[in-house]
């Protein structure tokens, strides 16, 4: 049950059961910055319902020695319409968990976060649902988009290699690589897309495909196929545009190709999710992941003089911004309007 999963999640965040006189529910406490925080998971359904008087008793009597801002009630309900009025109570922090749809509902008058618990709690609720749904369907959450993107890159590389020299800039430009004068003087903006699927040699292809697989494997599963695909193309297109414009304005005769701008966008998105998910990940593990990313950034941009560092930096920055935007849009979609 989702109620038990929430209890388990709170336990992972160092919330422990505590004895509170007059409380007939699980009251979990934690110490944060010298203050005592309380989370009170409750369930409404199966003939047992949470009332306003009960919440008032718990918040203002049983826990009267603690400020109400440090107390969060998490109501798991099988009927949101019946119980959503409880989230309108003054002076009480209450988030509602829709047991049927496996969704976290935070109303306008409620805190948008509670000491960093929001993201982890939301992931606990929704990912558990997705895992169970996949088990019922008998399907694994396969990163289809990542696999298709890798296949397209490999197949197109083989076709180009059979027709000519993929290490030759002139040949690659004739086949669709990004080149400033063609893009901005002949308005061939389609090159900003086609160049994302072209690579200067087998090592260039293999390196990018390995990093695409590593970055995309978990990211696609977390944010979903369509958001992942949109992020990939927007970061790749933006990185290609910025890089091409940079070298064109400098008068540099540079032909650009490769999926690295889009891949760096994925890496930027992974960094954002790593920080957002820090409540469910140990600090050591988090910094190890960030360290690996930074080492990769340093090595690929400063140890290899032939890489397009502008595209890499642009893609990385765009990935961060796009992931923040996608997270904000997702949060607004999940947040209920005040009734």
CATH architecture of 144-332: Up-down Bundle (1.20)
Instruction: State the pLDDT at residue 330.
Output: 58
Task: Give the pLDDT of residue 139.
Answer: 47
Nearest to 25 by CA among 65, 72, 61, 58: 58
Spans of all domains in the chain:
2-138, 144-332
Token readout for 301 is 């941009």
Q: CA-CA distance, 275 to 278, in Å (whole number)?
A: 5
Q: What is the mean pLDDT of each run of 10 residues along the chain (339 residues)?
A: 87 86 75 87 85 87 87 92 90 91 88 89 74 49 89 96 94 94 95 95 89 84 88 95 94 90 90 70 51 58 62 91 82 44
Q: What is the pLDDT of residue 136?
A: 46
Predicted local confidence at residue 24, as pLDDT: 64
Contact assessment for residue 181 and residue 225, using Cβ atoms and an 8 Å cutoff? no
Q: Do the Cβ atoms of 289 and 235 come closer than 8 Å?
A: no
- Residue 102's pLDDT is 85
- For residue 265, the model assigns a pLDDT of 92
Distance of alpha carbon 171 from alpha carbon 185, whole angstroms: 19
Burial of 154 (C-beta count, 10 Å sphere; 0-12/13-18/19+)? middle
Cα 44 to the chain's mean position, in Å? 31
What residues contact residue 123 under an 8 Å CB cut-off, 6+ apart?
A: 277, 280
> CA 233 to CA 129: how far, in whole Å?
29
Tokens of 288: 């190890």
Q: 77 by DSSP, 3-state: which?
A: strand
* Distance of alpha carbon 308 from alpha carbon 166, whole angstroms: 17
């Amino acid at each position: 049950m989702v109620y038990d999963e929430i209890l388990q999640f709170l336990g992972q965040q160092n919330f422990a059961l505590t004895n509170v006189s007059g409380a007939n529910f699980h009251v979990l406490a934690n110490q944060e910055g010298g203050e005592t925080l309380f989370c009170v998971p409750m369930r409404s359904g199966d003939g047992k319902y949470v009332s306003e008087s009960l919440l008032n008793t718990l918040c203002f009597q049983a826990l009267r020695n603690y400020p109400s801002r440090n107390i969060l009630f998490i109501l798991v309900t099988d009927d949101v319409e019946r119980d959503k009025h409880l989230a309108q109570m003054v002076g009480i922090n209450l988030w509602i968990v829709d047991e049927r749809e496996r969704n976290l509902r935070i109303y306008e008058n409620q805190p948008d976060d509670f000491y960093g618990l929001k993201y982890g709690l939301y992931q606990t609720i929704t990912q558990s649902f997705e895992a169970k749904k996949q088990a019922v369907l008998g399907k694994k959450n396969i990163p289809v988009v990542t696999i298709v993107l890798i296949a397209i890159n490999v197949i197109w590389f083989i076709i180009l290699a059979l027709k000519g020299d993929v290490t030759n800039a002139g040949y690659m430009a004739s086949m669709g690589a990004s080149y400033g004068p063609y893009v901005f003087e002949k308005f061939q903006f389609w090159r900003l897309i086609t160049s994302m699927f072209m690579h200067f040699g087998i090592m260039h292809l293999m390196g990018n495909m390995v990093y695409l697989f590593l970055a995309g494997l978990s990211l696609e599963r977390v944010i979903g196929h369509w958001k992942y695909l949109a992020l990939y193309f927007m970061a790749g297109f933006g990185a290609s545009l910025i890089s091409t414009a940079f070298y064109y304005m400098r008068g540099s005769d540079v032909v650009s190709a490769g999926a690295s701008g889009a891949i760096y966008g994925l890496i930027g998105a992974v960094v954002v999710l790593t920080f957002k998910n820090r409540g469910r990940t140990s600090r050591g593990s988090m910094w190890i992941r960030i360290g690996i990313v930074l080492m990769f950034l340093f090595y690929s941009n400063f140890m290899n003089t032939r890489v397009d560092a502008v595209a890499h930096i642009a893609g990385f920055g765009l990935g961060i911004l796009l992931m923040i935007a996608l997270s904000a849009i997702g949060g607004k979609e999940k947040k209920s309007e005040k009734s």
